[in-house]
Structure 1
Amino acid sequence: AGGTAAGGTAAGGTARGGAALNGAALRMAGRPLAAHLRARAPQLTRRVVARLLAELPVYAELPQEEVAGDIAGIVQHSLRQFADVLERRRPAGPEEFGRQRDSAALRAEEGVPLDAILTAYQIGAAMAWDELAAGAEPADLPAFQEALGYFLDFQRLLISSVSAAYLEVRQILDSQEHGGRHALMTALMTGETAGHRPAPRYAVLALAFAPHPDEAGAGQRARIAARRKIRRIRTVLDEVADEPAFTALDSSGGTALLPYSAGWDVLHDLVARAAKCADVPVTAAAEITGPAGIPAAVAQTAEIMDLVRRAGRPPGLYRLADVLLDYQLSRPSGALPGLAALLAPLDRKPELLRTLERYLACDLDRRATGAALHVHPNTVAYRVRRISALTGLDPARPGDLQLLHAALIARRALP
């Protein structure tokens, strides 16, 4: 019905055109529709606005003068505009929705969600149609079909105009906000915060994400899965931060600065929730500091993350306190090459080196090591004896155990 009414070339359209030229008013339930809608517009506007305030919380939060002014005004304008369409029996043109576009732009600047705006127009449209169609009888079917065609066409143009105006303004605002946020993040990471207003305290995170199974391949599905993973993790970061987090993330991880006043326990929960929401393992290195300490914290968390990765530690949150020995032993010094050389006899025995790493990580538990390496515990015992014979260091001796730990860390620290 809508397509025929809007086209003007089908039989209904021809009839409407002829009727309009003859000055006949479009009538339903014994009354001229245009005159009836104009007469009822003030009362209908009050009812529509009351329903918006009752059903859409975001409208109830607007200033009362704005509701009684711009909101009520645009409702009544739209009702009278559609009455004009019914009177001339001709569809509206896209250029006739300037006031609605201006109103949508204001709502965009105020941060009113687009879905709430479109819902408001749909509520008003439904109430207007109920008013027009009330009391219609079978004999009114031709008029009903013609009016419905105009109604659907009017709604299509209205929603299109409102959405376009809203999105145009939001794109400009988001671009400005993104530029400002990017500039502040850059300033924080370089320590040049003059002219900015940073938060008093930040949680600095280096993040690493495992790939989601849906990211396998190079097609559209993989790209969508990667964006979805990043979006979900950003949502969790924003929920924990005092205000929206600053992030530089890709599908493998990145850096996040969270304006932050909570404690470490909340950060531990954040990493667990991010992993659950994104459905991938998440590893994070973190430090809490003021704005002046952010550049050093960014560098330090990156080093902590590197140590965690090299050591093959499980996903989760890590602080400097969790890797103190690794951190200190990996600092450049003349002792590093000597420590690393302790394991040189294992260079041609990669299975022994892997066994040593896992054996130490499993606290010298042969069964756990065997399960991790998919070998029998007796095989682990044999390999440990071979390691001792080749290096002269026995993990069962406390002093040798410390040297073996230090030697592994040194090997990871050297190129």
Structure 2
Amino acid sequence: MPNVPSSVAHGAYPQLSPAAQALAARCESRVNELARRMARETFEQLPGYTELPADVKDVEIAATVRNGLRLFLRRVRDTQGRAGDYSLFRERAAQRADEGMPLHTLLRSHSTGVYVLWQALRDEANSGEEGALIELVDFLLRGHEAIIGAVAETYLDEQAALFAERREHHRSLVRGLLDGSLPPARTLEELGLEGPFLVVHLHVPRGQDPAAPAVADRRNVRRIQTVLDRVLGTEAVSLLSVDGGHVIAPQRADDTDGTRACEELSTRLRKICGPDVRCAAVTAASPQDVPAAARTATDIVRVARACGRPPGPHRMDDVLLEYHLSRRDESSDRIAALLDPVADRPELIETLRAHLEHRHDRRSTARHLRLHPNTVDNRLARFTELTGLDISSPHGNALALAALLLRGNVPA
């Protein structure tokens, strides 16, 4: 095995001997021939290459090959870094990523090009030029390493940018669909979804530290998205934040009401987000039904929290009465007004909400709020004194719950 010059081993290009430079120079007249052969013959053996448009092969790829050959030959003459850069390789790598060429095909094309150039140098070498040939091969492989690094880095950066663009475009479409600013049928068609649909609402409580770093929040959203992809399929689209959000997916024939999907989502998400994950799924037969289904799923989770249901998957049947109590009619304003006396006492409303959520268990409520149980008792007594609602009675409890729901004091 030949000794590699120490300058090469440490990343710098060596000064080539006059013999090596002369050998490389004899290949300059073959640049166009080699470029045509690579673009139209050699690369045809690569998977997926034959499907590329003829103009891409004959113009872009051939031009990139010529640039690579001439760059190599220029650097043989000038090893001080003045012979050019890898900007064209980076530009073409970004284009190939945008067109969807697999990275392995792109990298194999560069490696194949290096092999063809090596063959040309070998064929051109005469007896007694073995040392010069070894110098050029060392030089060629070191340059190839740098080019492959530049190409792979640019391709992956472009692919990540394209993915982020598509994800954000999908998010904007889902946002417009749910808020009614975009037409449902056309939007879902652009999202690539066909009905019937399953619309899921997720509630994922944040940690105790509300000022958690943004990096941690983004990581959590990515982890939630990974679970959604596994459970609902990558064709599902979502509008997520660190607190949860909505997902729209095709309805599965073996899970028409989404019960199994919600159970699996709840199980998987609890492992990464903690035990207080909640979700609900509502079906939508047509695109026009999707926004209403999203609102219903959100309300099911909100009501389940208010009436003390434990975290996990929720169904409409689980909260049928409470859901009915939360609907607005001519009596709604009067019921909501029952909490006016404590409107400026958020700690009393929060204690009531937690007490209902924890099924009137004062110790569980105290642990949740990080209070002494006697403090919980005192707050509830003060609430009853100010509002006249005795939540220890079925009637007072139902009125307090309905008032909370109608005032929106139970966030989803």
For this structure pair, what is the TM-score category when the shorter chain's length is used for normalisation? 0.5 to 0.7
List runs of 5+ in structure 2 lacking aligned partners: 1-6, 123-128, 408-412
Residue 192 of structure 1: aligned partner: 183
In the alignment, structure 1 residue 270 sits paired with structure 2 residue 269:
no
Residue 405 of structure 1: aligned partner: 397
In the alignment, structure 1 residue 120 sits paired with structure 2 residue 108:
yes
CA–CA separation in structure 2 for the residues paired with 1:88 and 1:356 = 74
Distance 1:234 1:87, change over 3 A: closer
Residue 307 of structure 1: aligned partner: 303
Cα distance per residue 1:56-96 (max 9 Å; x no partner): xxx4xx486669x969x969x95995598369834774479
> What is the deviation of 1:147?
3.9
> What is the deviation of 1:300?
2.2
In the alignment, structure 1 residue 334 sits paired with structure 2 residue 322:
no
Contact 2:389 2:399 in 1 (8 A): no
- The aligned runs of 1:12-411 (5 Å cut-off) are 12-13=14-15, 16=17, 18-19=18-19, 24-25=22-23, 59=47, 62=48, 82=69, 85=72, 89-90=76-77, 93-94=84-85, 105-106=95-96, 108-109=98-99, 111-114=100-103, 116-117=104-105, 119-120=107-108, 124=112, 144-145=134-135, 147-157=137-147, 159-160=149-150, 164=154, 175=165, 179=169, 182-183=172-173, 186-187=176-177, 190=180, 192-193=183-184, 195=186, 197=189, 198-211=193-206, 216-217=211-212, 222-241=213-232, 244-261=235-252, 262=255, 263-277=258-272, 281-290=276-285, 291-311=287-307, 313-332=309-328, 333-334=330-331, 337=334, 341=338, 354=351, 358=355, 395=392, 400-401=393-394, 403-411=395-403
CA–CA separation in structure 2 for the residues paired with 1:213 and 1:2 = 54
CA–CA separation in structure 2 for the residues paired with 1:6 and 1:309 = 65
CA–CA separation in structure 1 for the residues paired with 2:10 and 2:77 = 12
- The TM-score normalised by the length of structure 1 is 0.61
Contact 2:238 2:247 in 1 (8 A): yes
Paired residue type of 1:264? T
Deviation larger for 119-128 or 224-233:
119-128
CA–CA separation in structure 2 for the residues paired with 1:353 and 1:101 = 57
Paired residue type of 1:408? A
Paired residue type of 1:406? A
List runs of 5+ in structure 1 lacking aligned partners: 53-58, 134-138
Distance 1:232 1:155, change over 3 A: same
CA–CA separation in structure 2 for the residues paired with 1:119 and 1:326 = 60
CA–CA separation in structure 1 for the residues paired with 2:186 and 2:71 = 54
SS at match of 2:194: coil
Contact 1:34 1:87 in 2 (8 A): no
Residue 56 of structure 1: aligned partner: none
> What is the deviation of 1:413?
2.8
CA–CA separation in structure 1 for the residues paired with 2:268 and 2:333 = 38
Contact 1:70 1:103 in 2 (8 A): no
> What is the deviation of 1:201?
1.9
> What is the deviation of 1:269?
0.7
CA–CA separation in structure 2 for the residues paired with 1:324 and 1:175 = 41
Paired residue type of 2:399? A
CA–CA separation in structure 2 for the residues paired with 1:127 and 1:405 = 80
Alpha-carbon RMSD: 5.9
Distance 1:325 1:340, change over 3 A: farther
CA–CA separation in structure 2 for the residues paired with 1:394 and 1:3 = 79
Contact 1:304 1:320 in 2 (8 A): yes
> What is the deviation of 1:204?
1.8
SS at match of 1:25: helix
- The TM-score normalised by the length of structure 2 is 0.62
CA–CA separation in structure 2 for the residues paired with 1:289 and 1:204 = 7
CA–CA separation in structure 2 for the residues paired with 1:361 and 1:215 = 21
Paired residue type of 1:186? G
SS at match of 2:235: coil
Contact 2:389 2:396 in 1 (8 A): no
CA–CA separation in structure 1 for the residues paired with 2:11 and 2:349 = 81
Paired residue type of 2:206? P
Cα distance per residue 1:335-394 (max 9 Å; x no partner): 77469859989x99x789948964x656667886787688999x79x989979x977969
Distance 1:184 1:252, change over 3 A: closer
Contact 1:5 1:150 in 2 (8 A): no
Residue 126 of structure 2: aligned partner: none
> What is the deviation of 1:295?
1.9
Residue 4 of structure 2: aligned partner: none
Contact 1:206 1:302 in 2 (8 A): yes
Distance 1:34 1:153, change over 3 A: same
Contact 1:340 1:410 in 2 (8 A): no
Cα distance per residue 1:286-334 (max 9 Å; x no partner): 3111212112122223333433444565432323222222222223342
Distance 1:33 1:181, change over 3 A: same
CA–CA separation in structure 2 for the residues paired with 1:253 and 1:81 = 49
Distance 1:5 1:368, change over 3 A: closer
CA–CA separation in structure 2 for the residues paired with 1:278 and 1:47 = 52
Paired residue type of 2:201? A
